[in-house]
Structure 1
Amino acid sequence: MKLHELKNVPGAVHRKKRVGCGEGGGHGKTSGRGGKGQSARSGSSIRPGFEGGQMPLYRKLPHRGFNNYNFRAAYATVNVGDLAKLDASITEVNAGVLVKAGLVRDIDDTQLKILGDGEIGRALKVTAAKFSASAKEKIEKAGGQAIVVGA
């Protein structure tokens, strides 16, 4: 079987529904929108949860709990193995170096965390907000430094 020999399963292809093309077409007059009212008008859209002015269910029910999403600490993560792939001329690694190398995206609202996946064979002076225990161990074992800053 070749790509140009493929056929659709019978019943898979339908003609486009043509609304508003006369009563004989089956979708004339109101064009499937029912009779009058807000949803029959063009450009109508009612937001989810709106109940026509009645007190909506989500406002009737009590709200409990706390959401910490706005106050979370967001981290951009880089593995030790990725640090090993950096240019050999680089001896000091920080967020700016990693952004230039393309290992992390813009670091404005996030902090940098180094994780321990992979191996590193040369001494690097790494500056980050956090290190995993295995990452710190691998960096120091290779003769480098793991410096915690601005955590």
Structure 2
Amino acid sequence: MKLNTIQPAAGSKSAAHRVGRGVGSGWGKTAGRGHKGQKSRAGGFHKVGFEGGQMPLHRRLPKRGFTSWTHEFVAEVRLSELEKLGLEEINLGDLINANVIKSNSKDARVILSGEIKRKVILRGITATKGAKAAIEAAGGSVVVEADK
């Protein structure tokens, strides 16, 4: 095989349609654009979703839900992760240093997942009702302060 003998596979390449080149070509006269109408004319353009002045589908349907802007900055922490930390007093900085949560986290929330058997004091971290009850049952407490 030589570079000057390489050819594409048989049937893989076909000539482009040369439209508007006479009746015999099969693509003459209207050149595949049909008859009349905006799309048949030069410069015929309408924006995506335009339905000729009818209220477009994307505006007829109701809005639903939302995307929270703070979602990526609020981390979830399980009770089992607090158990593994081995600290008695835990704040946001401790969780970041232990790689329990991402370093860009601005807040953390403890959720009821796993179990905790030792006393821990959470400072500046919120907890769900169930997680707070589990922490208090183990002898700990949740202290939400203004200075995190």
The answer to whether the 8 A contact 2:111-2:131 is kept is yes
What SS is found at the alignment partner of 2:77? Answer: strand
Q: How far 1:93 sits from its partner (Å)? A: 0.9
Q: 1:36 to 1:83 in 2, by over 3 A?
A: farther
Which residue matches 2:12?
27
Residue deviations 1:96-149, cap 9 Å, x none?
2112212111234x5211011222122111134431111101111222111234
1:3 aligns with none
**Structure 1, gaps ≥5 residues long:** 1-19, 38-50
CA distance in structure 2 between the aligned counterparts of 1:149 and 1:36, rounded to whole angstroms: 75
Q: Percent identity, please.
A: 22
Q: TM-score, normalised by structure 2?
A: 0.57
Q: Find the aligned partners of 1:94 and 1:114 in 2 and give their Cα distance.
A: 11
- Distance in 2 (alpha carbons) for counterparts of 1:102 and 1:36: 63
Q: Is the 8 A contact 1:112 1:129 kept in 2?
A: yes
Match of 2:67 in 1: 69
Find the partner of 2:48 among 56, 63, 75. Answer: 56
Correspondence list, 1:76-115, <5 A: 76-87=75-86, 90-108=87-105, 110-115=106-111
* Deviation, structure 1 residue 55: 2.5
Give the structure-1-normalised TM-score: 0.56
Aligned to 1:10: none
Q: Which has the larger radius of gyration?
A: 2
* AA of the residue aligned to 2:63: G
Structure 2 residue ranges without an equivalent (≥5): 1-5, 20-38
Give the superposed CA RMSD: 3.4
Give the equivalent residue in structure 1 for 2:135.
Answer: 139
